Copies of this chain bind each other. A is one copy, B any other.
Amino acid sequence: MHASCRRLAALLAPDEISDNTALLTDQRRRYTGRADLLLLPRNTESVRKIMRFCFENCIPVTPQGGNTGLCGAAVPDGGVLLNLGRLNRIRAIDTADNALTAEAGCILQNVQAAAAEAGRLFPLSLASEGSCQIGGNIACNAGGLNVLRYGTMRDLVMGLEVVLPDGELVSHLSPLHKNTTGYDLRQLFTGSEGTLGVITAATLKLFPLPQVRETVWTGADGIAEAVELLALIRSRFGERLSSFELVGRDALDLSSAFCRTAKPTDAPWHVLLELTDSEARPDLGGLLAECLLENGFANSVLAQSEGERQTLWALRENISAAQRGLGVSIKHDIAVPITRVAAFVERCGVALQSAFAGIRIVVFGHLGDGSLHYNTFLPEASDNGVYAFENAVNDIVYEHVLACGGTIAAEHGIGQIKRHRLNSVRSAAEIALMKAVKAAFDPRGIMNPGKLLPD
């Protein structure tokens, strides 16, 4: 440990210093970093103390939440690993203003539960909700299952408490629905992946709690038909549509075996959709079934109980876990306009098969907002050998994404894995502006170096 790190440690309580080196490796075990100090500050004041010291001594700081990120953004490369997990209080719930103030280390599921207990919905929902943390969700602008109705995390943040790189506190946690007083720094921190400051708390928007959920699994001959179904459901049920997920045949086969659950339908493509309504609407399920039948989706399964609903969702949510049986994959977190999803999947599949004979492509994702998890397996490559082909596979995938007007990073961020590709979706002028913003916020370059922005 450097002498300066020893001095920092001496400023903190003993239980704010950790020796849990598991925090240095990301969830996918893709990256293992190093740190001179692993810190678990108790509260915002402690974060300020740490940042003041690190600023004065030019020590790099990597903020970390639940360490569930998929792009290596929370893996440090020396200096301080600042895990926010102990800032886990829900500070306030205000039902009149539909607002909840949570500290950065609150686990998403606990925030959802606290909102529900107060008769409200916090709509962010994603596979890692049992371990990811609010601060990380904000830092990477998380998306998930309900974006088509409620937006991404960016749309759900009313206010932030942030510790700047020099330890200065910026705090706006009053539940104000309208506030236009200069540049929106809150929106700069959202999605900045720990490179501009440390988010320590946030005031989040709440929504009416659904009184009814109707969940359907159905088959489709092609993605175009699934997109038609999306339009149909939207025109019939409007804002009630909360989720509209696409699952490829291969993805369902894997998940069905993994979950030991029979496939609800047999088709080349599958859709899992959910309507919710904050008004008790006993007729909603019947209307949905009728609509599907009338429009030729006769092979639909409408969940008849909460248990059946969870079984259907488990098939969707366990695809990632199930596909691990195929070995190491090259994953893509992409989005294109909804009208281009079918063309992208078809053309990119052809191009990949032609370049890598026998490549296996597992496709699933959030058709309702145009984002896909597009994961590729090279059967001939050994586990570690896969990465030798990563750049070549990515070149093909991203070429097709960009040709369809899409993005190479929909909801997982850039981290360290995609920073060298940022220039494919942002112009030189934009990257220069981002670097200038970075320099303004973090003049000593101590915040999460090596992430997000290219060198």
Contact = CB atoms under 8 A, between A and B. Distances in A.
Contacts of A76: none
Nearest to A435: B440
Q: How many copies does the complex hold?
A: 2
Q: Give chain A's interface residue range (CB within 8 Å of chain B).
A: 35 or more
Contacts of A295: none
A339 B99 CA distance: 12
Contacts of A335: 176-179
B278 A94 contact: no
Contacts of A154: 184, 187
A351 B335 CA distance: 54
A405 B437 CA distance: 29
Contact of A164 (B174, B179, B414, B429): B429
Nearest to A144: B178
Contacts of A407: 176, 178-179, 181
Contacts of A119: 235
A223 to B, nearest CB: 12
Given A434-B183, A437-B437, A338 B96 contact: yes
Interface in A197-256: 207-208, 227, 230-231, 234-240
B178 A369 contact: yes
Interface in A331-378: 335-339, 366, 369-371
B151 A182 contact: no
Interface stretch (A105-113, A263-271, A420-428): A420-428
A143 B184 contact: no
A405 B441 contact: no
A429 B168 contact: yes
A155 B179 CA distance: 13
A179 B410 contact: yes
Interface in A170-191: 170, 174-185, 187-188, 190-191
A93 to B, nearest CB: 12
Interface in A395-446: 405-414, 422, 425-427, 429-431, 433-434, 436-441
A168 B426 CA distance: 13
A50 interface: no
Interface in A56-104: 94-99
A278 B151 CA distance: 19
Contact of A339 (B97, B187, B336): B97
Interface centre among A143, A187, A237, A452 (most CB of B within 10 A): A187
B177 A183 contact: no
Contacts of A140: 180
